[in-house]
Each structure stands twice: as C-alpha cells, then as structure tokens.
Amino acid sequence: MTVSDPDFAAPILAAATLVAKSVSARAILAYVDALEDPGMFNKTVKSPTELILVCRDPSDHQHAKSLGVKHFGVPDFDLTRMGQIKMATLIAFSQAMLKPKDVFVFLTGLAGQHVDTLVAMQVGHEYELFQSVGQPKLTEHIRRPVFERVLTICLELAHEGREGKPVGALFVIGDNTEVQKCGSEGRINPFKGYTEKQRNILDDSIKDTVKELAKLDGSFILKGNGVIISAGTNLHPTMAGEQLPQGLGARHAAAAAITASTKSICISLSESTGTVRVWRRGVMITEIEKSSRSGDESSLRSMEG
C-alpha cells in the first residue's frame, strides 16, 4: 500500500492500527522521523500490539525515550523504502525484538518525510527478508555491536565508496578457527603484529583503516568479539552454498560457501550495485539496496506485484 502525497499519512496511521488488530500483529514498527506526532500515534496502538520506534539520530532516541516507547537505532542512509524496512527489521531481529513467526506491521516513507508506505508481514514468510528462520539465534556467538558495526561500514562504503570509486567487500564474522582453515592469507596481513585491542572493529580509530583495506582483493576475517584476524584473505571453502540468485558472482559464491562450511555470518558489498547482503548457513538472509528514484519505484512495484 503506497501513496505519494504526505497528506495521506493520517489515514495510513489509522489503517495501521486496524491492520495490526485484524492480523494479530505483535508489533508496529515505524521510523520516528516519518511520524508527525509519535506520541499521538502511540496512544492509538492497543495491547497486545506493541509500538517499536526506529531511530536514525540522537534526537529520535531522545523523543522515543521521552515517550517510554521501545526503540532501537539504525544507521542514517538514503535507502529505498524496502531497504529501510529490511535494514531495520534485520537489526530488530538480531536484537530479539522480533522473533520467528511474529506478525508485524511496518511504516515508513522516504527518509525524513512522512509515512507513505505500510507493509504487513510475518517473520519467515518473506523470502527476501528471513531465510534464517529455523536456524539458531542470529548472533549467538557474535556480539550484536560487532554485527551492526560491520553492517554500518558496508552501508557507508556502499554510499561513499573510497576516493570516489565504488568498492566491493566481504566480511566473515565468527567461528574464525574454522574459517581460517578454509582460507589463505594474501602476501601481507596488515593486522599482523597488532594487539587484539588495536585491531578490534569496535574501536572507532580503526574504521577508516578498514574502509581503506576494503579495496584489497579477498575477505576480512573477524572473531565474534570484533577482533580482526586478517584482511585480503582468499577463501577456499569445502562446501558449496545453495544456488545463488542470478547475477551474483564470485564474492557472493564465497559468502554462501563459507557460511555453509562454518558457523559464521558474512556481510558482502557488491562493487557494481552497492547492494549489501547478509549470508548465513549457505543462503542469503537479506539484501539492502541503495536509494535512487528508479530503484525506489522498482522496489515498490515489486511489493505491489
């Protein structure tokens, strides 16, 4: 359900509560900056449905906190409407705010504009979003901040590139002992000789270094606690992942295969399209696409179809 005129925001908000009730939704998720008055909307959401607000910046967090509403943060990037939904839903899922088989309603619009899109779905019934249902908890051996930091870095690279040029990258997180058995380091490991504290991806001072090294061929290998084992690693997994969607190449094949061979999670960045994908147990969990006028319209046509 989509409309282009922001004046339709109020009817969409009213419809959201009705849809949530009719489908027994556990939650309504909405971007704070898409709601003209989150406080008034909060009053219309009736138990047992819960309102969960998605925050892009500190002022959003402060507003949600003042309302006493459950909320979480996401990176502030210009994504397609479906990209916004996928990113927020993935983070909510990783934080256990959404669980397998939960029915929920999601409200969003173009970044910084009023609600113009309502999507209702069940966790596990959307092929694009949740191929991980039935698997162990997403981050049972990977710290949530590590997963989110790598996701953010990939999204930043997707939008900024490096020195004005698009960049492709692959990060393998968790089960590093088994992952290393399936890989070989390049000529030089730029992280060799540094302490674990100095090469932890959660350290803000290392962020630009990681982005610069993303230009190297090969993959980043990380422990679940964020310590970077190596960059520029060539992967040679022993198992193949499931058949890839058409158009995906060697980097994505490696992501599928290494997650099929080990208990790791991969986050890949496509150099050609800037699409960020998350992989688990040999399959793609989700993909997050950059926004463009044609891309956003295409995404909406796909939803409507």
DSSP designation for 81:
H
Q: Reply yes or no on whether the pLDDT at 296 is more than 90.
A: no
Q: pLDDT for 75-105, tens place per residue?
A: 888 788 888 888 898 888 878 788 878 899 9
pLDDT given for residue 19 in this prediction: 94
CA distance 186 to 168: 17
Least confident residue range of 15-24, 120-129, 192-201: 120-129
Reduced 3-state DSSP string for 91-143: HHHHCCCCCCCCEEEEEECCCCCCCCEEEEEECCCCCCCCCCCCCCCCCCCCC
Reading phi first (left if > 0) and then psi (alpha if -120 to 50, else beta), residue 128 is in alpha
Cα first-last separation, the chain = 11
Q: What DSSP assignment string belongs to 18-69? A: HHHHHTT-SEEEEEGGG-S-HHHHHHHPPTTSEEEEEESSHHHHHHHHHHT-
At 305 the three-state DSSP class reads coil
CA distance 207 to 146: 12
Answer whether 145's CB lies under 8 Å from 153's CB: no
Range 6-135: architecture per CATH: 3-Layer(aba) Sandwich (3.40)
**Span 144-280: which CATH code?**
3.40.1700.10
Chain centroid offset of residue 40 CA = 29
pLDDT given for residue 268 in this prediction: 95
Only one residue has tokens 């696409």, namely 289
Q: pLDDT for 232-241, tens place per residue?
A: 999 887 766 6
Residues of the chain with CATH 3.40.1380.20: 6-135
Token pair for residue 225?
A: 């606690």
Residues of the chain with CATH 3.40.1700.10: 144-280
| 232-to-16, 67, 170, 185, 215 alpha-carbon distances in Å | 47, 46, 10, 7, 9
